[in-house]
Amino acid sequence: MNIDQADPAELAALRAAFDVDDREESALGWEAVHAFEAEHGVVLPEPYRTFVAEITDGSYSGPPEYGLLPVAELPNDWGNAEQERDLSKPFPLAAPWMWEDDSDQAENADENLEQVYNHGSIVLGTDGCAMNWHLVVAGPHRGHIWLITDVGAAPFGEQFGYTTAEPGFAGWVQHWAANKPWYDAP
């Protein structure tokens, strides 16, 4: 997973995975991507950065279930859209966290949850029922995809043990395009 330079083979696979038509959001272009990054104090990880600049900024054809959101949007079922999101602050997790079962974190649960939802990630889209896919844009997990739900959060990629997919945006899209279940590890 190279998050600093777009791989032409990954970009070709991303183009092939999306059936972009007139209903789709158009690509942002590099000027708008640079403006978004400057406004939020981040550099989007590759190949997502080139994807939104040159291919499309959002797609009805997925992934996830309800389509890929434009880079600056949140899902319709997002809890508190008024809450301040700071993309430049590091995403706080490096390992799965099921807060519903974690009594050790109960004392600081609200503060920790606020950071998980609002620091260092953009929301790629939703599978519904508060199951949102995030792309980490700041911190040690930059470039990784995380599924954040109402009960916990888990990283996506074969090294984390839940799936056979490659990590990162390209691996996530290719896994979806191959029609595989998200979590398919034995």
Nearest to 73, CA basis, from 127, 122, 117: 122
Phi-psi region at 10: left, alpha or beta (left = phi > 0; alpha = psi -120 to 50) = alpha
Q: Are 16 and 170 in contact (CB under 8 A)?
A: no
Answer whether residue 112 is part of any domain.
yes
Q: The domain containing residue 34 runs over which residues?
A: 8-177
CA atoms within 13 A on the CB side of 24: 18
| Number of domains into which the chain is organized | 1
Answer whether residue 47 is part of any domain.
yes
Average pLDDT score over residue span 15-25? 67
Residue 7 has pLDDT above 50, yes or no: yes
Answer whether residue 153 is part of any domain.
yes
Answer whether residue 182 is part of any domain.
no
Answer whether residue 184 is part of any domain.
no
Residue 18 has pLDDT above 80, yes or no: yes
Nearest to 136, CA basis, from 128, 127, 146: 146
Of 5-14, 110-119, 142-151, the range with the lowest mean pLDDT is 110-119
Quote the pTM value. 0.91
Residues present in the chain in total: 186
- 44 Cβ contact list (under 8 Å, min separation 6): 33, 36, 37, 52, 71, 122, 137
| 22 — pLDDT class (breaks 50, 70, 90) | very low
CA atoms within 13 A on the CB side of 181: 5
Residue 78 has pLDDT above 70, yes or no: yes
Residue 25 in 3-state DSSP?
Answer: coil
Answer whether residue 2 is part of any domain.
no
Average pLDDT score over residue span 125-144? 94
Q: What is the pLDDT of residue 62?
A: 76
Answer whether residue 186 is part of any domain.
no
Q: What is the pLDDT of residue 185?
A: 86
| 21 — pLDDT class (breaks 50, 70, 90) | low
Answer whether residue 145 is part of any domain.
yes
Residue 130 has pLDDT above 80, yes or no: yes
Residue 88 in 3-state DSSP?
Answer: coil
